[in-house]
Amino acid sequence: MPKVRAIFFDLDNTLVDFLQMKEKSCKAAVRAMVAAGLHMGELEAYEQLIKKYFDVGIESNVAFSEFLRSIGQFDHKILAAAINAYLDAKRKCLKPYPNVKPTLRKLQKNGILLLIVTDAPKTKACQRLIGMGIEPFFKFVVGFEDTNSLKSTGLPLILALDIVRKELPDLLEEQILMVGDSIDRDIVPARKCGLRTVLSKYGQKKVALGIEPDFELADFKDLIEICTK
């Protein structure tokens, strides 16, 4: 295997357990809404709130207000309580997976260029990276707004390739790893671009058959061994 000189990382469910963070934060918001006067049981409210998130977008800033309007209980006090509780719980949950920080530190020390390529809005991606204390490890962040396209189209990866080649003009595709939790969004488009692929099994939520990555991670620290092969 050629020497690894650059690594593209997905963010959510690769560096951080995004779904767990969203679940705990939404449950905290629901508890706060009920305490502030929402007339609905916590379980039902949580289920409807999550449904509303999928309706308006998992990264949406209006999910709480749209949820309250949809059930005819919009109230600024309830909305404010939900937002405060959500943000407080989110900060507490915003931690990288085990071994992420020391592994990134070692990769960076070894001279490997590290980039984020995510479908998340760029500002929110940067918020999560800063909140976890790992933003300085990454030279660039490619977010949704940079191409207005999802990773499955390949366009964000093509942009990342253009960016990284300005730093390393002689870089070859096979010297780049793409690390992500999704076969469809990470592994398939990266392979089409000629990159080596690494599936973060610990963060994989949906099992896909028929496509095999070049490598798999049971633990983030396994990336060190892959890069030294």
Average model confidence (pLDDT) for the chain? 95
pLDDT tens digits, 45-93: 999 999 999 999 989 999 999 999 999 999 999 999 999 999 999 999 9
- Same domain? 11 vs 61: no
Distance of alpha carbon 21 from alpha carbon 203, whole angstroms: 13
Does residue 25 sit in the same domain as residue 88? yes
Check whether residue 55 and residue 161 sit in a common domain: no
Residue 1 in any domain: the answer is: no
Positive or negative CA dihedral for 75, 86, 21, 45? negative
pLDDT for the residue numbered 203: 83
Confidence band of 228 (pLDDT split at 50, 70, 90): confident
Domains in the chain, number: 2
Which of the four pLDDT bands, split at 50, 70 and 90, describes residue 116?
Answer: very high
Residue 163 domain flag: yes
| 229, pLDDT greater than 90 | no
**Statement: residue 209 has pLDDT above 80:** no
* pLDDT recorded at residue 148: 97
Contact 77, 103 (CB under 8 A): no
pLDDT at 205 over 80: no
E-strand ranges in the chain read 6-9, 113-117, 140-142, 176-180, 196-200, 215-217
Is residue 180 within 8 Å of 194, Cβ to Cβ? Answer: no
- pLDDT tens string 99-115: 999 999 999 999 999 99
Specify the higher pLDDT residue, 205 or 198.
198
Domain span including residue 88: 19-93
pLDDT bracket for residue 211 (50, 70, 90): confident
Answer yes or no: do 89 and 108 share one domain. no
CATH code at 85? Answer: 1.10.150.520
